[in-house]
Amino acid sequence: MTTATSHATGEVTYLEAISQALDEEMMRDERVFLMGEDIGQYGGAFRITEGFLDKYGEWRILDTPLAESGFVGAAIGAAMMGLRPVVEMQFADFISCAFDQITEVAAKNHYRWGAAVPMVIRAPFGGGIHGGPFHSECPEGWFFHSPGLKLVAPSTPYDAKGLLKAAIRDPNPVIYFEHKFLYRRIKATLPTDDYIVPIGKADVKRPGNDISVITYGAMVHLALEAAQMLAKEGIDLEVVDLRTLAPLDKEAIFSSVHKTSKAIVLHEDNKTGGIGAEIAALLAEECFDSLDGPIVRIAAPDTPVPFSTPLEEFFLPKTSDIVAAARKLAAY
């Protein structure tokens, strides 16, 4: 058995944190069960559920047919009947197969006839792994626009574990965007006690006074890197990690920009119509009097995620983008 059951007091990776959250929730609540492709026998494409089948059996770890719409729909039905399904999309890109069930059935269910759907869909998203157009996508924008869904995107092992637990305990459909690039690249020591990270609360990962960088996912780490570099030049970034995309923690976003008067909105998703556009609009509407400079967005260009390395490198926002934009904005 791997780290799935070990309550390590040492460092765990982002991936292990997710695994721990699933394991602990399944032990705590017998209603929680997992569905997805290759999660049982194989232990999951990313090995997150390694050992779970032996521990929980084939009626709590379901290897599903290749039918996202079918098994997401089933999760909805099971959730309505009192269970707590956690569905795994092997890659977030495949969530489009279940788009109909998620946006038409799950999202609208409680609104229409009062039946809650306490379901979680885990979606490994993001690029930087040579995955090409169908294994690197950031699809959160499509669901951001569907009332009735909650969306979360942790950037650290601590947040990954806490948010997944919160998502599983939430009575609403939650899409949990885990950034696959971060899986084994970041580590942290986690509390041994049970804890959650509340949905709907952003986190200031680095306080600062000059420019607010509002971001989520792997981009948080680029922002922190940029902040270190810019500190030497006397430019003090404040990095606000959204952690929850829907509902947005407007209070945190606004109080940061009220303080700094300058904002950079950063995400890996394509720029046009991405969540950054909504945040920029909110800032213009509700923080206008505090703005001392234009709201700058940094995002991937409006193309599918390309495969070839030089193309993907050009595509993904990088630390140097943040540094350049911050310098310009600071001097404005």
Partner 1 sequence: MVKWLIPLGGAIEKDQSLLEVETEKVDLEVPSPASGVLNEILVKEGETVAVGTLLARIDSAPPAEVISRVGGVVVRPVDSDAAGEEHHSPAVRQLAKEHGVDLAHLKGTGAGGRVSKKDVLEFVARTSAPGTTTAASGEPSMGEEILPLTQMRKTIADRMVKSRQTSAHVSTFFEADFSSIASFRTGRDLTYLPFVVRAVTRALRDVPLVNATWGDQGIVIKKDIHVGIATALEEGLLVPVVRHADRKGLTQLAKEIADLAERARSKKLSPDEVQGGTFTITNHGGFGSLFSTPIIHQPQIAILGVGAVQKRAVVINEAIAIRPMGYLSLSFDHRVIDGATADQFMAKVKHYLEGGHWEQIL
Partner 2 sequence: MDLADVTSQIKRADLLHMYYYLRLTRALEDRITALYRQGRIVGGCYTSHGMEAIAVGYASALERDDVIAPFHRDMGAFLMRGITPGEVLAQYLGKRTGPTKGKDGNVHMGDLKRGIIGFVSHLADNLPVATGAALAFKMRGESRIVVAGTGDGGTSRGDFHEAMNFAAVRKLPVVFFCTNNQYAYSTPLRLQMAITDVVERAKAYGMPGEIVDGNDVAAVYLAAKRGIAKARAGEGPTFFEFKTMRMHGHSEHDPAKYVPPELLEAWKKRDPILAAERLLVEAGYGDETYFHEILERVKKEVEAALEFAEKSPLPEGPEVLEGVFATDADLSHQATHSRSAA
C-alpha torsion sign, points 119, 135, 129, 243: negative
* Given 7, 130, 135, 145, the catalytic residue: 135
Please state, in angstroms and as integers, the Cα–Cα distance from residue 229 to each residue in 5, 186, 225, 261, following that order: 39, 20, 7, 21
Nearest residue (CB) to partner 1, 70 versus 306: 306
* 115: contact with partner 2 by CB under 8 A: yes
User: How far apart, in whole angstroms, are the C-alpha atoms of residue 242 and residue 198?
Assistant: 12
* 325: contact with partner 1 by CB under 8 A: yes
Q: Whose CA is closest to 96, among 125, 68, 64?
A: 68
Neighbours of 271 (CB within 10 A): 16
Q: Which stretch binds partner 1 (CB under 8 A): 112-120, 133-141, 149-157, 321-329?
A: 321-329
* Residue 107 token pair: 């999202």
Site string for partner 1, 268-287 (x = CB under 8 A): ---x----------------
Site string for partner 1, 194-223 (x = CB under 8 A): ------------------------------
Q: Which residues neighbour 70 within 8 Å (Cβ) at sequence distance 6 or greater?
A: 64
Q: Which stretch binds partner 1 (CB under 8 A): 56-64, 135-143, 169-177, 299-307?
A: 299-307
> Catalytic residue at 130?
no
In whole angstroms, what separates CA 122 from the centre of its chain? 9
Neighbours of 330 (CB within 10 A): 17
To partner 2, the closest distance from the beta carbon of 90 in angstroms equals 16
At 304, which amino acid appears? P
To partner 2, the closest distance from the beta carbon of 247 in angstroms equals 9
Rg (CA), the chain: 20
To partner 1, the closest distance from the beta carbon of 260 in angstroms equals 9
To partner 2, the closest distance from the beta carbon of 200 in angstroms equals 10
Among 1, 27, 116, 129, binds partner 2 (CB under 8 A): 116
User: How far apart, in whole angstroms, are the C-alpha atoms of residue 39 and residue 103?
Assistant: 24
Contact between residue 204 and residue 179 where contact means Cβ atoms under 8 Å apart: no
Among 12, 32, 53, 62, binds partner 2 (CB under 8 A): 62
* Residue 17 token pair: 């944190």
- Exposure letters 231-253 (e unless 16+ CB within 10 A, then b): eeeebbbbbbbbbbbbebbeebb
Q: Binds 332, which of partner 1, partner 2, none (CB < 5 to 8 A, cut-off by type)?
A: partner 1
* Residue 242 token pair: 């959204």
* 114: contact with partner 2 by CB under 8 A: yes
To partner 2, the closest distance from the beta carbon of 239 in angstroms equals 28
Nearest residue (CB) to partner 2, 53 versus 182: 53
Chain positions contacting partner 1, by CB under 8 A: 261, 271, 288-303, 317-318, 321, 324-325, 328-329, 331-332
Chain positions contacting partner 2, by CB under 8 A: 33, 59-60, 62, 64-65, 67, 69-83, 85, 100-101, 104-105, 108-118, 147-148, 150, 171-172
Residues recognised as catalytic: 135
